[in-house]
Structure 1
């Protein structure tokens, strides 16, 4: 069967690529990847990516500087990427063109530009789950703008917030995964016989790969229709998105679904038996961690002289080994409240870089060519690889079931 050519945006250290290269039928071929970290001379993520992957074109430049011609030359069948969640408000300039506010908000528009230049069959995008609620003063606007954009580009979209630990993984990491497919494909046509509810609960990509209970949680179902004026969406759209949903031809259904949980890997299962003693915590450093993880009620004073109390609930001194790990942040490994602390062999210690990699499903020592602090940072930014593999496996099944004759597909 013909390979699916993949363009990987915001590639990081290669989590998307590893996930797709682990699928059952090895149908994905990453032919072009872009990774560029602004405001830093050292390009550590790109260094790691190019160390491991030797095929395909590797681009290390600002995605905004990549030309339309280079994008089009990738001939991508699928565009994938995890992109920063920032501000996605839209404005219309005096000449009628669209613009955005928010410095890093441009990154989604670069995805849209890539889609316009390649018109891929599929999209897989990943982001933090708060995307569905942002911004706080106009809940749901940012995601509404994205859906409106993809709708106008000719794509139907499914999304699901997935907690990796609920589907058998070692980390309690919640992310929203967005699956788009061209509306003129046979696959999209096959779904027209199903209701939105059927797709969310049984027939959609996420329902098949990440099963959920057959009834909404607390009867939470919302429906709406998007305006075809993206500026109007940006200015007025406000909507409660739940953790699962579908948009077809601008019609949105979103449902609060309950996952059918699988037995997770526990934190204790991914720990190394032999670890460097430099990760053991004692003395003043241990006391600092105890303070950071303890409950607090601290009096503070504003610049105007107003007094108030900052409070913080306590957490256990060490992380439970019989549960999956907590969400790993980019600050992992530093002295702060969110860093994982474990007790093994009667020693209290931090995680090792290898254990951080295992929490995301990476091979051991995947980042060992990088400075240690950056190894933790990269894993705090990474996704959980087996989630991508499951998504890829379903796309392979779709390809086998609905083998498209590309010459019969009209460009949108």
Structure 2
């Protein structure tokens, strides 16, 4: 019988998509933003949409084998206010923990068997490094000591209490087939409530799934929408430099020309992390031209952002009733989303350990 998945703070359905690609059935999702809900309903019409997490009772939900959630990161991110789990948005993490406990109490500890949490690496350091300790203690339902170094490693595990917990920092630029061209470091934490399998899920080598480039009939072919048209390039080779926008803004403010030039990066560098607050931009010119005179700057298209996340082309282009999703809503949704190959790796690991039991 296929494993079932429930997705909290679902966004545009990346965890359900990873689940389907690994043979897992998405049962339900919780999300409140209108555009992401419509996008996800289009792709998963059989999956139930439950709305506001604050109004859910885990004891009343359909039991699932896996519960995933990428709770709000605004208060944890180094680019945010750093209020940590005490912040209004990132504090919603505890609502997911509440639902897990309610479901487990209602099913005599059977469901969910696994929980998967995804978030920014700033969670390691926010709250004077106590927030990540609080995350571990919430999953374990028992005290967790701070490491002797007082710093959290990018990978680790703890055992005891209610669950076996492993975490690992995954950077999107090293994942996918072909690899994604985005620098996106995110914590993936796996809690196993029924055994000691979390390390097998997160630390075992396994093949990544091939990249899916087309999303059904939801939009036109991608060749005319991405990058620079072949008729424009002719025989010239475009030089593309990702822009470190935060660094660039700081350089402009400080009137630092050297820092400004460095913010353009190098041709072999991945793009900076996609942000929900703005569209990423890059500079380009043609090989052999003077970039000061012939160069230009443009924003990534939503399609290009989808590809940087490893998503099928046009995944966010249309809603449930065929309505076109605005570019601003797509940028926001994609900036808040999860790199698909990383999610697939975790889902494949859970499937593997469940089959071996």
Same fold (TM over 0.5): yes
Residue 76, structure 1, aligned to residue 64, structure 2 = yes
Q: Secondary structure at the match of 2:227?
A: coil
Q: Which residues of 2 match residues 6-405 of structure 1 at below 5 A?
A: 6-23=5-22, 26=23, 28-37=24-33, 43-60=34-51, 62-71=52-61, 74-85=62-73, 101-119=86-104, 120-135=112-127, 139-152=128-141, 154-167=162-175, 168-182=179-193, 184-185=194-195, 188=196, 204-209=200-205, 271-274=226-229, 292=248, 295-296=251-252, 298=254, 313-316=259-262, 318=264, 320-333=266-279, 339-343=280-284, 348-368=297-317, 369-402=324-357
Q: Deviations over 1:55-81 (max 9, x none)?
A: 121122x2111234433xx11111001
Q: Secondary structure at the match of 1:145?
A: helix
> Aligned equivalents of 2:90 and 2:339: distance in 1?
24
Q: Secondary structure at the match of 2:64?
A: coil
Q: Any unmatched runs of 5+ in structure 2?
A: 77-84, 105-111, 142-160, 208-224, 233-244, 287-294, 318-323
User: How far is the alpha carbon of 1:44 from its aligned partner?
Assistant: 1.3
Q: Deviations over 1:372-406 (max 9, x none)?
A: 1111111111110011111111111101111xxxx
Q: 1:3 to 1:347 in 2, by over 3 A?
A: same
Q: Deviations over 1:111-141 (max 9, x none)?
A: 1111112231011110000101111xxx221
Q: RMSD of aligned C-alpha atoms?
A: 3.2
Q: 1:295 to 1:163 in 2, by over 3 A?
A: same
Contact 2:15 2:343 in 1 (8 A): yes
> Aligned equivalents of 2:314 and 2:285: distance in 1?
21
Q: Secondary structure at the match of 1:383?
A: coil
> Aligned equivalents of 2:29 and 2:271: distance in 1?
30
Q: 1:391 to 1:360 in 2, by over 3 A?
A: same
Contact 1:81 1:124 in 2 (8 A): yes
> Aligned equivalents of 1:18 and 1:169: distance in 2?
17
Contact 2:10 2:31 in 1 (8 A): yes
Q: Deviations over 1:350-375 (max 9, x none)?
A: 21110011100111111112111111
Contact 1:332 1:340 in 2 (8 A): no
Q: 1:344 to 1:118 in 2, by over 3 A?
A: farther
User: How far is the alpha carbon of 1:348 from its aligned partner?
Assistant: 3.8
User: How far is the alpha carbon of 1:312 from its aligned partner?
Assistant: 9.8
Q: Counting strand residues as a fraction of each chain, which structure ranks higher? A: 1
Contact 1:342 1:349 in 2 (8 A): yes
